[in-house]
Amino acid sequence: QVQLVESGGGLVQAGGSLRISCVASGIIFSFAHMNWYRQAPGKQRELVATITSSGSTNYADSVKGRFTISRDNAKKSLYLQMNSLKPEDTAVYYCQTRLARDYWGQGTQVTVSS
């Protein structure tokens, strides 16, 4: 059974930093292309960052230069380091992977106060 479990969200002031994590089980993590999405209230879910099995990364323009996606295959973990946070980064953050179908975690709330 595939499970993705996020953690590390919280409340932070604008300009601050936060690192969120996602632990995977039930998959061969090292082969998986992993993504971070976010969904703000009243908005569509959007792709924030991706990392391939080989470690190549890609970012949404809105977070480029501020966020860093990384992975630790030995720990089956995915990370998102978020620096210079802005109030508009407030959202529920989800890790996601696509195998035979899409798998999502339950999400972790990130709130950035102005």
* Pairing of β 67-72 and β 77-82: antiparallel
Residue 35's pLDDT band (cuts 50, 70, 90): very high
Tokens of 19: 């690192």
Mean pLDDT over 5-27 rounds to 97
pLDDT digits (tens, 9 = 90+) for 44-59: 999 999 999 999 999 9
pLDDT digits (tens, 9 = 90+) for 62-107: 999 999 999 999 999 999 999 999 999 999 999 999 988 999 999 9
Amino acid at 32: A
